[in-house]
């Protein structure tokens, strides 16, 4: 049985964004059963867990002795065996892999930087000074992504793939703002992907765990 580590609980502002969601979604699309292993801060620091995940983060993917970390690498591993996430044509597969890396390298870092400023450092003087430049870079990247997607339902060959899975989770990051809504085609793309039953199931499962382990006063 595949095992995926996930946090036992996180504050509401992070719920629905923790990166085990990507792996849950990929496994649901692939039709692969799994179980989650919930951890907290105490487990993150243990030598045993750091052997699996050197940085103490989630998720970790374990299957038949194979241990993987980094959500993008795990999604790629799942996609390579799942026709629902990866086309069979070699050229199309290469394009999907390219867009997977683009989601994590060309888009995510800019949206993540903006989210950290807005959610964690909004009152800091340095954050107020830096935010306009960070916001502009994010808007530039989203404009470029919108141009690449123009007239297309998905990133590669007009069909959903692992590239769209990762890109959608990235576009969810600035949900504290209306940034993505400034780009109606991108927002429609995000909503189209989020409407998939596999996404709804993955999100519900993650949120259910947080609800089950909500701290009591």
Q: CA–CA separation, 90 vs 41, rounded Å?
A: 42
Q: Convert the pLDDT of each residue in 117-141 to its tens digit.
A: 988 887 888 988 999 999 999 999 9
Residues 49 and 146 grouped into a single domain = no
Q: How many domains does the chain have?
A: 2
* pLDDT value at residue 120: 83
Q: CA–CA separation, 214 vs 217, rounded Å?
A: 10
pTM (2 d.p.): 0.96
Residues 62 and 98 grouped into a single domain = no
The residue segments making up the domain with residue 159 are 90-196
* pLDDT value at residue 157: 96
Residues 59 and 116 grouped into a single domain = no
User: What's the average model confidence in pLDDT over 21-45?
Assistant: 97
pLDDT at 217 over 70: no
Q: Report residue 159's pLDDT band, with 50, 70 and 90 as the boundaries.
A: very high
The reply to whether 65 falls in a domain is yes
The reply to whether 121 falls in a domain is yes
């Amino acid at each position: 049985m595949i095992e995926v580590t996930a946090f036992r609980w996180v504050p509401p502002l992070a719920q629905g964004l923790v990166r085990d969601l990507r792996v849950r979604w990929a496994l649901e699309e692939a039709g692969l059963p799994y179980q989650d292993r919930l951890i907290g801060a105490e487990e993150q620091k243990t030598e045993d867990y750091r052997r699996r995940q050197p940085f103490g983060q989630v998720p970790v993917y374990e299957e038949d002795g194979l241990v993987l970390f980094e959500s993008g690498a795990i999604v790629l591993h799942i996609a390579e065996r799942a026709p629902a996430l990866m086309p069979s044509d070699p050229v199309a597969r290469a394009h999907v892999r390219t867009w997977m890396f683009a989601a994590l390298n060309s888009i995510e870092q800019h949206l993540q930087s903006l989210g950290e400023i807005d959610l964690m450092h909004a009152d800091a003087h340095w954050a107020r000074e830096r935010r306009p430049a960070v916001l502009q870079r994010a808007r530039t990247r989203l404009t470029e992504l919108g141009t690449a997607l123009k007239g297309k339902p998905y990133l590669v060959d007009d069909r959903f793939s692992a590239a769209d899975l990762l890109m959608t989770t990235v576009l969810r990051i600035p949900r504290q703002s209306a940034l993505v809504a400034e780009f109606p085609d991108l927002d429609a793309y995000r909503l189209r992907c989020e409407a998939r039953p596999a996404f709804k199931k993955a999100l519900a499962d993650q949120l259910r765990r947080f609800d089950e382990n909500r701290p009591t006063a």
